[in-house]
Amino acid sequence: MAISTKYELKLGAATREAFGRTLAELGNKNKNVVVCDADLSKSTYTVFFQKEHPDRFIECGIAEANMVAIGSGLAAAGKIPFVSSFSAFVINKGFEQLRVTAAYPNVNLKVVGTHSGISIGEDGPSQMSIEDLSLACNLPGFTVLAPADEVSMAACIHLAAETFGPFFVRAGRAKAAIVYEPGTKFHVGGSHQLIDGKDIAIFANGLLVAEAIKAAEQLDAIGISARVIDLYSIKPIDREAITKAAEECGAIVVAEEHLKDTGIGTRVAQVVVETAPCVMEFVGLTNYAESGTPEAVLEKYGMTASVIVTAAKKALARKKK
Amino acid sequence: MTKTSNPAELAAIAKTVRRHIIEMITAAKSGHPGGSLSATEIVTTLFFDVMKHDPQNPSWAERDRFLMGKGHACPVLYSVMAQCGYTPVDKLNTFRHLGSIYQGHPDVRFIPALEASTGSLGQALSVGLGMAIAAKLDKSPSRTFVVLGDGEIQEGQIWEAAMAAAFHKADNLVAIVDWNKIQLDGFVQDIMPLEPLVEKWKSFGWHVIEIDGHNIEALQKAFAEAESAKGVPSVILANTIKGKGVSFMENNPKWHGTAPSKEESALALKELA
């Protein structure tokens, strides 16, 4: 795909909407795809699937733990179940069920958590998941994906359906900037370098990929060459791209709409420490957020390009020592 | 395996199962004899009479499925599955030993013929419901049977699954509550009472059958009745005696999760001769 440092970020659909549309299409191609939702189908957009395939839509009511285990039973009986709710509920309330009925027996369950991160805004912290990626990564055998835009979400849903084993795919509520051209390839364990650079590498996922692109442009304007990598596959993680970035740039910033202490940054750092130790800075959340417009919440809690720029400068200052 | 509907033959198999349970737990020096002994007739009747399954073809798509919600009672399941020919009888006494297929709780990684890994209480009914829904979608005659402990149904997820099973008209799902009235810490009545249990399941929209869970003919009738109940899931509330068949274990909370000593084991096996 064509990448330039002058990126034109146009607002596209929310990744949850892309999930719903892709799922409905997938239902036409694969009759084994079934969908479970917990009274949030209009919000998770599984309603698109329900409209087209009502017989394969299984309403579970507001009982996420039960839904997860029903999904595991469907998977064990040969179906490809997608179970969906807000990340904050399906991962947290369903965690033990994910562990015992899906992860350790390695069943073909697909979990899609929508309304992830703090960008849901007004609904406030009880609905905001800021621990989901970490929890999902804690489940051995799970593949964990966090796509940035509608193109990558569609690809990730296809990957989940076509690859045997349990998956967690993270979706957001807010409209996401379009980063990818249609037809871009994605794979489990992959990443995409969106902008090349030599001074510092910025790893991001989800909404923060667009912010990382903006940050790279701001850094470019002051003579700093920043590489931007979308780490959409969080588990397995692209060790090669991380090691290469550490070796070639010697400084890394990881930016994520997730708790900083337990998120992707720690996973990137683990690779860096093992392969090519270098300076690192982390942009993420340190506590629960609050209600407000999505834009205001993201701004107040530091999920912005300018915070990434500051982190990059800090890393570069340490790199020079 | 030779299936049979003859209650006397099923009772003879059940007696062997009880001996296996005592031998396995004695060899392991750990395990749960009480709840295994109480569920013996239930599991024996299911595998040797009621369920359609084929140990030569465990993944037969139209097989009936069995889930042991109270996974700690797996010695009864292991003995029955071994006697059916799924797994070796002569390895039963490796139960709970490192490397054994007979894990402390049922584990599909070690015995692929198991339908699910169970033992975290409260989850198997939901998993079984998923399987029952899958069978309906496939227009398969497959039925799913889930044995639950009475203590186990204190888990909230059981009632989430109960609600959902009734809503989805899962008449191919049968829950059997091994109602032995004892849980780990003591009598259910003292820990967290379940009564009125018949009314609870009824109010959740289930067809409820209450029987003596050691009476094989009553079990056979109950499973037939469950099959004839259309449009609703069925639950068999099987009144049982914890530790059934071993006089000193019967109705004593101590034997929920205690292995017998060699002397106690010999005494038990003598009673089960």
Chain B neighbors of A70, CB-CB under 8 A: 126-127, 129-130, 133, 161, 164
A111 beta partners: A83, A168
Residue B58 near chain A (CB below 8 Å): no
Q: What is the mean pLDDT of residues A71-91?
A: 98
Q: Is B115 on the interface with A (CB under 8 A)?
A: yes
pLDDT surpasses 80 at A6: no
Distance CA B175, CA B181 (A): 17
pLDDT tens string B49-97 = 999 999 999 999 999 999 999 999 999 999 999 999 999 999 999 999 9
Average pLDDT estimate for B159-179: 98
What is d(CA A46, CA A168) in angstroms, rounded to the nearest whole number? Answer: 16
How many other β-carbons are positioned within 10 Å of the β-carbon of residue B181? 17
Sheet strands side by side (includes B234-239) = B65-68, B144-149, B173-179, B234-239, B207-212
Residue A64 designated active-site: yes
Helix or strand or coil: residue A302? coil
Per-residue confidence (pLDDT) for residue A73, from 0 to 100: 98
Q: Mind listing the pLDDT tens digit for each residue in A103-122?
A: 999 999 999 999 999 999 99
Q: Which residues of B touch A78 (CB under 8 A)?
A: 61, 134, 138
At residue A7, the pLDDT reads 83
Kindly state the tokens that stand for A113. Answer: 């958590």
Shortest distance, CA B160 to any CA of chain A (angstroms): 6
pLDDT tier at A8 (50, 70, 90 boundaries)?
confident
Structure tokens at A104: 């350790």
A231 DSSP assignment:
-
- Calculate the average pLDDT of chain A: 96
Pairing of strands A10-14, A175-178: antiparallel
Buried b (16+ CB within 10 A) or exposed e, A109-124: bbbbbbbbbbbbbeee
Q: Do B131 and A74 touch (CB under 8 A)?
A: yes
pLDDT tens sequence across B88-126: 999 999 999 999 999 999 999 999 999 999 999 999 999
> Quick one: pLDDT at residue A2?
46
Tokens found for residue A189: 């364990």
- C-alpha closest to that of A144 among A159, A128, A154: A159
Q: Where are the alpha helices (DSSP H) in A138-257?
A: 150-162, 208-221, 239-249
Span A265-283, pLDDT tens digits: 999 999 999 999 999 999 9
Q: Which of A4-8, A67-71, B129-133 has the lowest mean pLDDT?
A: A4-8
Q: For the whole model, what pTM was predicted? A: 0.96
Phi, psi of A13 (to 5 degrees): -80, 160
Catalytic one of A8, A52, A59, A64: A64
Model confidence at A126, in pLDDT bands (50, 70, 90)? very high
Out of B117, B129, B163, name the one closest to residue A104 (CB): B117
Minimal CA separation from B24 to chain A, in Å: 24
**Given CB atoms, is A236 within the 8 Å cutoff of chain B?**
no
ipTM (interface predicted TM)? 0.95
Residue A275 burial class via C-beta count within 10 angstroms: exposed 0-12, middle 13-18, buried 19 and up:
middle
Residue of A65, A77, A99 lying closest to B131 (CB–CB): A77
Q: What's the confidence (pLDDT) of residue A4?
A: 58
| Residue of chain B minimizing CA distance to A56 | B137
Query: Could you tell me the pLDDT band of residue A321, with boundaries at 50, 70 and 90?
Result: low
pLDDT above 90 covers what percent of chain A?
Answer: 97
Count how many pairs of residues, chain A against chain B, have C-beta atoms within 8 Å: 99
| pLDDT for res A267 | 97
Both structure tokens of B161:
């699954």
